[in-house]
């Protein structure tokens, strides 16, 4: 999947976030960390599916910057091979969505100023957005 990954650049971001008549969609930085996926497995993958549907239903108003921890797929392959195919399937949906761009977590420094809010796993991304006084919501696999 890594070879098909879209990388965020400001030009691409601006093309996809502005609607006709200049109205700007809200950009949500959505972060997925290795520890959460390894711990919650299929439960978190189902959460990602539900989130996808919420994002798709709201695509007229939001744009998702989906940051995935670098090397996540390799780690899944190493210790949670049972969820690898389902992970790839979910990731493919996000990568092909017109309301979303998928980046490696290493690129998150480039998007803090572009995003309006944070959603996802607790970590440096949530902390930085909190310090920037942007809304932060932490993801929980157990919450519908």
Q: How far apart are the first and last CA of the chain?
A: 28
Task: Dump pLDDT digits (tens) for 90-108.
Answer: 999 999 999 998 988 887 7
How sure is the predictor about 122, in pLDDT bands with cuts at 50, 70 and 90?
A: confident
Residues 118 and 32: beta-carbon distance below 8 Å: no
The answer to whether 93 touches 52, Cβ cutoff 8 Å, is: yes
Average pLDDT over residues 113-141: 91
Q: What is the mean pLDDT of residues 27-43?
A: 92
CB atoms within 10 A of CB 72: 20
Helix pair angle (72-79, 84-96), 10° resolution = 160
Q: Residues for the chain: how many in total? A: 144
Domains of the chain: 30-138 (3.40.50)
Of 17, 46, 27, 11, the residue nearest 129 (C-alpha): 27
pTM of the model: 0.87
Q: What is the pLDDT of residue 1?
A: 37
**Token pair of 51, please?**
């989130």
């Amino acid at each position: 999947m890594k070879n098909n990954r879209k990388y965020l650049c400001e030009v691409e971001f601006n093309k996809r976030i502005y609607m006709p008549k200049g109205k700007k969609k809200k950009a949500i930085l959505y972060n997925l960390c290795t520890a959460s996926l390894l711990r919650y497995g299929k439960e978190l993958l189902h959460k990602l599916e539900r989130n996808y549907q919420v994002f798709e239903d709201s695509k007229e108003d939001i744009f998702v910057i989906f940051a995935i921890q670098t090397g996540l797929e390799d780690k899944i392959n190493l210790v949670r091979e049972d969820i690898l195919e389902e992970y790839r399937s979910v990731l493919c949906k996000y990568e092909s969505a017109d309301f979303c761009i998928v980046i490696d977590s290493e690129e998150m420094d480039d998007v803090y100023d572009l995003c309006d809010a944070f959603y996802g796993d607790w970590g440096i991304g949530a902390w930085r957005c909190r310090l920037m006084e942007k809304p932060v919501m932490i993801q929980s696999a157990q919450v519908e």
